[in-house]
Amino acid sequence: MAKIYYFAYGSNMLSERLQARCKSARAVSIGSVEGHSLAFSKKSRDGSGKATLAPSEEADSRVYGVLFELDAEELTDLDGFEGVGLGYERHNEFAVQTEGGIVTAAVYLGSDDHLDAAQRPYDWYHELVLAGAKQNQLPLDYVEKLSDVASSVDTKTKRNNAAAGVGAVEKGERSA
């Protein structure tokens, strides 16, 4: 079975979340992308902002994330979860820096026509991103920077409950 690399920088950094979507997903390394910043500017159908990588002119701009290996055939399933054609585009030849050197990985980026800098993530989505960053031990200063991102309270109980597994992950428990 062919394997591919996938670079997660948003809520899919949380292993349980990605493995619920792609059973074969296995975290292999922390990765980073220079010349970009993390933005929650991808307009979502739920009215919030989701994560994307934004090109940046800042000298020290870098986004950290998690490099996963997964079965290539699961990428089509992930396309559906990520909303390819509905606000995200998959890029298959994205350069990611790891301790072992540069790796080419698939990554999802917000489509230009679905970006709005005024967007904010919902609180539960922001918590999923933070939980994934902590779980994978991204650099502490980067995690602190993520913590400072402003979020909006999601008043829809059903969506909010969908993120209930975050607390269990932060306590070191496995979610179902």
Q: What is the pLDDT of residues 102-121, one digit of tens each?
A: 999 999 999 999 999 999 99
Is residue 51 in a domain?
Answer: yes
- What is the value of pTM for the model shown? 0.90
Task: Please indicate if the annotation marks 6 as binding a ligand.
Answer: yes
**Catalytic residue from among 57, 82, 89, 173:** 82
In the chain, how many domains are there?
A: 1
Instruction: Determine whether 173 is an active site residue.
Output: no
Task: Please indicate if the annotation marks 68 as binding a ligand.
Answer: no
Tokens linked to 30: 């922390």
Is residue 176 in a domain?
Answer: no
Q: What is the residue-wise DSSP string for 72-109? A: GGGHHHHHHHHTBTTTEEEEEEEEEEETTEEEEEEEEE
Task: Please indicate if the annotation marks 122 as binding a ligand.
Answer: no
Q: What is the residue-wise DSSP string for 112-156? A: GGGB-TT---BHHHHHHHHHHHHHTT--HHHHHHHHT---B----
Task: Please indicate if the annotation marks 9 as binding a ligand.
Answer: yes
| Residue-wise pLDDT tens digits, 15-49 | 999 999 999 999 999 999 999 999 999 999 999 99
Is residue 173 in a domain?
Answer: no
Parent domain of 73: 3-167
Is residue 133 in a domain?
Answer: yes
Is residue 175 in a domain?
Answer: no
Is residue 160 in a domain?
Answer: yes
Q: What is the CATH number of the domain that holds 61?
A: 3.10.490.10
Question: What is the three-class DSSP state of 65?
Answer: strand
Give Cα 1 distance to the centre of its chain: 25
**What is the helix (H) or strand (E) element at residue 31, kind and residue range?**
strand 26-34
